Homo-oligomer: A and B are copies of this chain.
Amino acid sequence: MAKLRGNAIVGQSGGPTAVINQSLVGVIEAASTMPEITTMLGAQHGVQGILRENFIDLFHESKETLEAVADTPSAALGSVRKKPTQDECLQMFEIMKKNDVRYFFYIGGNDSAETAHIVNTMAKEARYELRCFHVPKTIDNDLRVTDHCPGYGSAAKFVSSAFLGDNLDNRALPGIKINVIMGRHAGFLTAASALAKTYDDDGPHLIYVPERPLTRRQFTDDVADVYNRYGRCIIAVSEGIIDSESEDGKTFTEVIMSEVQHIEKDTHGNVQLSGSGALGDWLANLLKNTLDSKLRVRADTFGYLQRSFPGCVSEIDALEARMCGRKAVEFATTKDIDGSVVLRRTAQESVYQVDIDYTELANVARETRVLPDEYINATGNGITPDFIDYARPLVGLLPTAGYFEGMRQ
């Protein structure tokens, strides 16, 4: 069978990351060398840009522009949170046909993989010949199959750097400090806070992830215990932590929000957890009300900085993001297949190495992966050394802190 030839569309979808543009540029530069692909159309704001025929011609961008874009956080083509309907898919195929489009690359997380899967399935049903490839991207690191996701290493570097600084701040002015980290269902990003620790008494002293439902009592007891030991306590809390006393496993944010205000949902049915300080403030008040109203308790919610702060990029993450973009094009054209790019760690004792492979779209679409049990400690308030071994190579070098020995006694 002759390989498909024609134009390609690339889009970005879901929450931006520090390196999603690396993947985009990887797609563009690989496609420009492939005889199967004539033109690369950048869809503005993902599938919405296809429906509106908002395209830019990416083969006409200069090498300088592409490198500048690759080094820039957030999605240079714009992003979108949208699951196309059956009708919208048919509409897209009309537009693709008109533009002779035979390749579709979609860079994003599990919702974006689902979109690629829907487009792929519908194209087959509609007998529209189209190769669909998903390029993984998410700071949450919650995609299935792949060892880790491009975007995670850089966000993890931001989180661990922030904790390193905050630990020093809290040593200087001791108190209880809660930091709320992104991660709807998976605790990978929250767990990365542990990379900031050098000494036993360094924060974070407690780490709570969505994988372990929590009671208010365990939380306040844990904090009291650490505070009594060190005179201070730094806590990493995932925005998605579950209230184990709620019916049907609600997040604390849902419990708080349902009491006070309307709950916002996106078109994938997800409740808004980010972009609000409510969880941190509520936990801070819980500690004051339960332990001692005079305690110095502060809460920061790291928010969107985790995915967009310029200059905080893991080198290996940037490199892998670029490679994943390139490989998606290579798999789609030379292998003539649909799928999603995955990273496989090839364990060579302590040397970090990955192979780039692929899997079927159905394996990645929609469902998410959570922190494996062996990465969470027995009491559910911290992470294990196995997680550190897993995450450290993805983050790369972190800043180090200078201390006076006399201050560490």
Enumerate chain A interface residues (CB-CB to B < 8 A).
Answer: 12, 15-16, 21, 42, 44-45, 56-58, 61, 65, 67-81, 161-162, 164-166, 168-169, 171-173, 177, 261-262, 274-278, 280-281, 284-285, 293, 297-305, 307-312, 399-407
Contacts and interface: CB of A to CB of B under 8 A. Distances in A.
A73 B165 contact: yes
Contacts of A76: 402-404, 407
A284 B276 contact: yes
A79 B172 contact: yes
Given A16-B172, A165-B73, A168-B72, A56 B300 contact: no
B168 A74 contact: yes
A80 B21 CA distance: 44
Nearest to A402: B68
17 contacts: A12-B172, A16-B169, A21-B402, A44-B407, A56-B407, A58-B404, A73-B165, A74-B172, A76-B404, A79-B172, A165-B309, A169-B308, A275-B297, A276-B280, A300-B303, A301-B301, A311-B311
B42 A404 contact: yes
A261 B78 CA distance: 41
A272 B310 CA distance: 29
A70 B404 CA distance: 11
Contacts of A12: 172
Contact of A166 (B45, B171, B302, B308): B308
Contacts of A164: 310
Contacts of A401: 68, 72, 310
